Amino acid sequence: MSTKNFLAGLGLGLVAGYLVRESISHAKISPERALKNVKKQVSTIHHISGSWIHMVPETLHRHDLTYEVYIGGISTKQSQGIVQYDFVVDTKTGTILEMTKTQ
């Protein structure tokens, strides 16, 4: 193997690695996966009777930070009847950023 071939292969490998890293760092979880994660976490506390999620991400500004989020909601069965909650989930990590009981 010549030095030129080795250097060309090394260069291509570095470029490919950089591109893969960039695409992974900007990857989002699907709305379906985000909803599944929320339901899994909430189901340890409440019995879920229904759920929904917006399929298009939105931008959220909180505490001088900007997030790309999915917005959705769940219905739970509780002793006082059906209770609705809205939630906000980070599109990159699936972390619930906010969950509020609707009135």
Q: Within a domain: residue 90?
A: yes
More confident residue, 14 or 64: 64
DSSP letters spanning 8-65 = HHHHHHHHHHHHHHHHHHT----HHHHHHHHHHHHTTTSEEEEEEE-SS-EEEEETTE
Provide φ and ψ at 20, rounded to 5°. -65, -45
Residue with tokens 């506390």: 45
CA-wise closest residue to 42 among 81, 103, 83: 83
Q: Within a domain: residue 9?
A: no
Q: Within a domain: residue 39?
A: yes
Residue 27: its pLDDT value, please? Answer: 84
Q: Within a domain: residue 4?
A: no
Q: What percent of the chain has pLDDT over 70?
A: 76
Q: Within a domain: residue 92?
A: yes
Overall domain count for the chain? 1
Structure tokens at 83: 């209770």
Span 35-48, average pLDDT: 92
Q: Within a domain: residue 34?
A: yes
Domain harbouring 83, CATH code = 3.10.450.40
Could you list the residue range(s) of the whole structural domain that residue 32 is in?
Answer: 28-101
pTM higher than 0.75: no
Q: pLDDT digits over 62-92, tens only?
A: 889 899 999 999 999 888 899 999 999 999 9
Q: For residue 12, give every residue at least 6 positions away whose Cβ sits within 8 Å of its Cβ, in sequence order, or none.
A: none
Q: Within a domain: residue 3?
A: no
Sorting pLDDT into bands at 50, 70 and 90, what band is 24?
A: low
